């Protein structure tokens, strides 16, 4: 039987964590603890000399002046409607690592299923075979190659980490400042920056087409990050069984308090 060196295991764990960070990080940190009604959202328009205004789910404004719903602001409108109207969905995801040298290697693919506000299933494929599942109470991480399952309280696991902008609650919009960016590569772009920075995340860019998210790019303070490219959206309810973790036989279980 081959003995695996601890250094190799440590390296593999770092790779797996990098691949799933955007999903497991901060997925529900804001949505679980959000207030009953959303607060106004700070919106700024790229090229508007830093002007900003208030927006609610009914209107968008810069310095108190209404903005017409054109391609420049539809990215925010698309995000707002997506969070409000799409309560459950499935999508295929392609992952790339963002590096400062401009080389953005592909890390693999995954499937994502979610049901707002506190359930999701992230199943990554080769070369990193891992399942991350939130069942509303606990977060389960099953590394099939390492034959190991880690479980921890959902709220504790996700507290202080970065992205519920696609699969969390609409209420978390109040936790971000948004900047509408120019259209690029056929997508309408939106930049989101947390009002209270948590962890190493600097900002999140979202690209929309026809009202649906196509790209999410998370950038850290060092200019590195992860890029998630979405395809084949299925806007249908996901079976409840998909969010129940079944413990495999003969697999090590590690329970964590937080």
Span between the terminal Cα atoms of the chain, in Å: 34
243 in any annotated domain: yes
Tokens of 128: 């990193």
Is the model's pLDDT at 94 over the cut of 70?
yes
Is 7 part of any domain? no
**Residue among 126, 213, 125, 127 at smallest CA distance from 163:** 213
The answer to whether residue 84 is domain-embedded is yes
Q: How many domains does the chain have?
A: 1
Q: Establish if 131 belongs to a structural domain.
A: yes
**CATH number reported for the structural domain that contains residue 153 in this entry:** 2.50.20.10
Threshold 0.75, pTM exceeds = no
Task: List, for residues 31-81, the tens digit of each pLDDT value.
Answer: 333 332 222 334 444 443 333 333 333 333 222 223 234 444 489 999 999
Residue 238 domain boundaries: 16-32+39-255
Whether residue 249 lies inside any domain: the answer is: yes
């Amino acid at each position: 039987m081959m003995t695996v060196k601890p250094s190799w295991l440590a390296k593999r764990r770092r790779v797996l964590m990098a691949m799933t960070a955007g999903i497991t990080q901060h997925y529900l940190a804001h949505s679980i603890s959000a207030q009953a009604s959303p607060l106004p959202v700070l919106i700024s328009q790229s090229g508007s000399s830093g002007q900003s205004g208030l927006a609610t789910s009914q209107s968008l404004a810069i310095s108190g002046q209404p903005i017409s719903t054109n391609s420049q602001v539809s990215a925010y409108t698309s995000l707002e409607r997506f969070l409000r109207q799409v309560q459950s969905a499935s999508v295929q995801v392609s992952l790339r690592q963002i590096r400062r040298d401009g080389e953005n290697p592909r890390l693999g693919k995954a499937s994502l299923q979610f049901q707002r506000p506190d359930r999701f299933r992230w199943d990554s494929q080769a070369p990193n075979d891992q399942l991350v599942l939130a069942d509303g109470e606990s977060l389960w991480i099953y590394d099939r190659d390492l034959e190991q399952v880690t479980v921890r309280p959902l709220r504790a696991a996700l507290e202080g980490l970065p992205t519920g902008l696609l699969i969390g609650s609409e209420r978390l919009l109040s936790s971000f400042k948004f900047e509408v960016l120019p259209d690029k590569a056929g997508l309408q772009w939106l930049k989101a920056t947390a009002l209270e920075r948590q962890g190493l995340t600097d900002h999140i860019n979202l690209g929309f087409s026809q009202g649906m998210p196509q790209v999410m790019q998370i950038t850290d303070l060092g200019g590195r990050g992860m890029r998630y490219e979405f395809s084949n959206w299925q806007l249908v309810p996901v079976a409840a069984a998909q969010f129940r973790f079944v413990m495999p036989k003969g697999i090590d279980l590690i329970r964590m308090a937080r």
